[in-house]
Structure 1
């Protein structure tokens, strides 16, 4: 009653001011100091189809989203105006008829039946959060309502109401309310849902359906009854809790907002449904694993470079010891064996080997670096194809030594990746993961291989593309690598793919990272599992942990997958025996001029050595050579058949002596020494 009386008094005051002089009233209205009418709304990140992925709150923590009239069902607007302010389009900010009616009803019923405030006056109150129970507060609302009507259009004022109307708690504005109470945009509200959202702003806390469902139902019924929308089941349920706004692709959202904090809308290439599928898959992947385990999955279209799903961690939180806020798609880690396909592709380009070239998997040392296979075993001579399929370590190191580590690093950069060297200088260890790479880098590398050796810049921003594409591998070599990778058996439990998926796994030193990256004719997917803090995960292998997740990710894309391409017309497809002679067996360029590795070599005594006669004989040590070996001293056989490569020669003749050895294949070597 006090509010209605105050409004009536103020109305009379305004009429009196108008009677005193039109100019005086105009001056009073035109000199009104308006509050800011540019509404602060939270930034939104959207999927490729416009689906909301994430919305950020405004500075004071309130949830307020941009809502334009065209985003709202016109029937909602009609219901709102009919219930709140039926002469909205005909008054100048205050409705004297409504005010008189409100006073009459209040006097007749002894209580407030309807308010006299217009939508414009409600906007004035919301903009300044001013009170309504005092003459001063009501006077300010009247003055501000009149001023708003002069400076803004009816549509602009209505839009302000749609942004600022309170809906309980920290929820403001129709769009945020529609999403959080009903899980849908305001363009899809039903009649009963619209009625509740019309009733809530009048008393948002007392009518909150999650706390006061009866009051919410009663208020909704009043709206429907007054609008004559019958029949209606007044007892149908109301929402019992506020729904959280979507928090999909949170690392993408955080990254985009960090790069463009002033932007209110970020349109991404993310597929909303696929994103949800990959998020669930990542959570399933770490379920039951050791505490602190995390996972990351990146899915892209390698034809366009568009990122379709981006999971930086299973949960965007710090629960259960997992550093979920850390984006493991961009984290720099050791890639393990995942760089081997690039090494072989570059070696194919250089003419060093062919997929069916024989290469020797045997112990070797490069200075102080002695690589070993993961299982500690050696396979001897085998084809390059088998060496890559088995992910052996010695062959790619041999090829990297021949190519030069700098050539491998240049290939990585041309593929669009950003490798990081701990020491700043590349060595042979790069071949086996001695370089920092991210999951984003690896997916980009494999996307380029899938595209015939042409780099594919990945992008998650719908309106921004990466640098121009560059060739880093020939189309023939890329196909040869893809063909080998497509022949790798799928992980245990995964369905056979008949060569539809080309993939590779990797495990970093110390079992810190488990990787799997692969592609079909359209999509490229990368999977990482490990601990964000880099601590070891005993027993973690890329083939056992990451590969099954990779294949399940391909399953979740669906059956509509493109086949891998056919070989380019210039591809040389021949068996080992039919290859050109230089490609049948891999030998380094240095080996062309080196001694035959099968020829025996006398390692002791060295040629030209001067030794003192001791009476115990002269030690003889050999390397290589086919057993048995004949040893001659000054042309006379001293050991007719030596079945080892170490012996002691009973030599005591002073002066010069020539020691000669002849192996079973007739290869020979000799040294000359002098005994004093």
Structure 2
């Protein structure tokens, strides 16, 4: 082995002595390998910090690195140890070859190498060996050609990218992140020395497999650094006491779903700059795991945080764990279509405020009601009677919001959702009143965008996750007054048990069959949405948005900042009055189709039924009322015959036979009628 190396060194000296012209021709005729090195695709946060990186095509970690992003001590140690005359030679250093040749002759073996950094780059570019004479000569020739075509900085950068560090690690940055868990901008002397030492024998000096050999090699670099005046002796002494890492650390994999999405949408980009805040993302990924503790193996959670003024997404947690598990962690639940449950109700109320149908202090009925063939019920099967609109939204009652949707028209609700930038999936393609209660497919990201629209005073701005400058405002969805009124109502909702009384404007929702639990809220600056459920859409018995998702929402705000930003003041045009001070049409909500509505507990003529023919007895006509509230008043053709009767049956004395219209009125003024023929 040493004889071949000595022959190669002598050949190098001989080449150096060749005639200049012949050498120039020989060097210029060199066919170089590709000089563009593939580096890992990177996804970085708003501050340029690494969120996630991807291996290159052959499965290696090779991250881009500029010399200015590297600790200068590393460069100094590298040159002192590997190539002191790097900036002076033309690719081959005759003095190093002479020294290596002399040492080899005296010792009868290879004592030191004569390769320059440029020769090492040549070997790495061609992935050639070092032991054969032909290989060494080829490295010399390529090194001389590289020096003519590249600057020293470019050659050094190639080394920083290609230097092997054991396993599938290539390049200084990949090694620093894997072995030290940090970027190589600030390295300790011990860390810098280790990174200099490993590439000389990357497999035998891997600290995760051969810590003792790695430490010995590192110490040799430190000794050389002291001898060359790169570091002081006391620094080296302290570095010697620093432990060598014995395990590789995982590469960052934050916001993995969003990172994959960014790469899919722009596969040719080598670097994706996202609006994500790495620190917040890390906190919320931990929160997502904590939120599922003790809740079974299938429950999943997703969280989206955005600045509603700019529309920038600051954190996006697609699942609690990016893995193939029972929770289906690889599925991005921030973009999955789900039923929003009651979380669409604030938009319905905002639209109703704008249409002049209601005001937060308007009285509205919460009674069993049939809308055509649709008979919705409240979630708890209870009814509150006549209440304020404010309370109806805070209590998330179904009957009032369906009545408002019927008055608005469900198509108007869908149109408003689309104006807010939402992509709406309508079952059957035709929206019905059930849309108000979650009968539509939406994503968590779109729901956050809707609430951001309300928080911004009713004007939509598309959410964005790429650092691309200011986004244009979208369409106005509801007025500033209506948006403020909705926010004020939601801010009055009581927080979950144990959460601070901080007037967070928020709404919870639970979809049909307990398949989706939601909580979405906003303060003066930020909006956060939380979804919980199963990725496969199966029910989660007993899961309510208020119980499981709302606590996570409040915890997410707590991790975002120590205190909420205040909500904006009411716009000047806001009508801040009591119910009695409202204009008469706004004091009590009455549906535009109220004349056609039939309440389940409203009075109805049970006998005789409408259209019947009945015999008039000597004692009169027997009538019976079903439903309603006593006492009752009975009339025949508008003439009162029985007044304030508490029984449900009565005997009416009629003036004669023929067609007659019977009417019954209950204590609340509700009426029913039947037209019959008496004979």
Q: TM-score range by the shorter chain?
A: over 0.9
| CA pair 114-550 structure 1, distance change in 2 beyond 3 A | same
Indicate the residue corresponding to 2:138 in structure 1: 140
Indicate the residue corresponding to 2:582 in structure 1: 579
TM-score by length of 1: 0.93
Query: How big is the shift at 1:495?
Result: 1.8
2:128 to 114, 120, 130: 130
Query: How big is the shift at 1:2?
Result: 3.9
Query: How big is the shift at 1:192?
Result: 1.8
Indicate the residue corresponding to 2:263 in structure 1: 257
TM-score by length of 2: 0.92
| CA pair 3-48 structure 1, distance change in 2 beyond 3 A | farther
Between 1:597-606 and 1:53-62, the stretch displaced more is 597-606
Q: Does the CA contact (< 8 Å) of 1:73 and 1:189 recur in 2?
A: yes
> Is residue 2:556 matched to residue 1:550?
no
Indicate the residue corresponding to 2:367 in structure 1: 362
Q: Does the CA contact (< 8 Å) of 1:217 and 1:235 recur in 2?
A: no
Q: Does the CA contact (< 8 Å) of 2:121 and 2:155 recur in 1?
A: yes
| CA pair 47-669 structure 1, distance change in 2 beyond 3 A | closer
Give CA deviations for 1:441-478 in whole Å, capped at 9, x if unaligned.
Answer: 11111111111111132111012665532210111111
Distance in 2, matches of 1:47 and 1:186, equals: 18
| CA pair 463-6 structure 1, distance change in 2 beyond 3 A | farther
Q: Does the CA contact (< 8 Å) of 2:525 and 2:565 recur in 1?
A: yes
Matches within 5 A, 1:7-22: 7-15=8-16, 18-19=18-19, 22=20
Indicate the residue corresponding to 1:378 in structure 2: 383
Indicate the residue corresponding to 2:562 in structure 1: 559
Q: Does the CA contact (< 8 Å) of 1:405 and 1:430 recur in 2?
A: yes
Give CA deviations for 1:583-610 in whole Å, capped at 9, x if unaligned.
Answer: 1110122337999999976465466654
Count, aligned residues: 669
2:424 to 416, 419, 423: 419
Please give the secondary structure, in 2, of the residue aligned with 1:456.
coil
Matches within 5 A, 1:22-33: 22-33=20-31
Give CA deviations for 1:203-229 in whole Å, capped at 9, x if unaligned.
Answer: 011111121112111111111212224
| CA pair 117-492 structure 1, distance change in 2 beyond 3 A | same
Q: Does the CA contact (< 8 Å) of 1:454 and 1:472 recur in 2?
A: yes
> Is residue 2:539 matched to residue 1:536?
yes
Q: Does the CA contact (< 8 Å) of 2:638 and 2:663 recur in 1?
A: no
Give CA deviations for 1:327-370 in whole Å, capped at 9, x if unaligned.
Answer: 11111100000011110010000000110110000111122210
Distance in 2, matches of 1:60 and 1:14, equals: 36
CA RMSD of aligned residues (A): 2.9
> Is residue 2:242 matched to residue 1:239?
no
Distance in 1, matches of 2:435 and 2:449, equals: 18
Please give the secondary structure, in 2, of the residue aligned with 1:505.
strand
> Is residue 2:79 matched to residue 1:81?
yes
| CA pair 202-673 structure 1, distance change in 2 beyond 3 A | closer
Distance in 1, matches of 2:92 and 2:417, equals: 69
- 5+ residue gaps, structure 1, are none
Indicate the residue corresponding to 2:202 in structure 1: 204
Indicate the residue corresponding to 1:5 in structure 2: 6
Matches within 5 A, 1:270-669: 270-319=276-325, 321-463=326-468, 468-497=473-502, 499=503, 501-591=504-594, 602=605, 604-605=607-608, 609-611=612-614, 620-622=623-625, 627-629=630-632, 642-646=645-649, 656=658, 658=660, 660=662
Between 1:71-80 and 1:640-649, the stretch displaced more is 640-649
Please give the secondary structure, in 2, of the residue aligned with 1:510.
helix
| CA pair 440-125 structure 1, distance change in 2 beyond 3 A | same
Q: Does the CA contact (< 8 Å) of 1:359 and 1:383 recur in 2?
A: yes
Between 1:600-609 and 1:218-227, the stretch displaced more is 600-609
Query: How big is the shift at 1:579?
Result: 1.0
Q: Does the CA contact (< 8 Å) of 2:625 and 2:664 recur in 1?
A: no
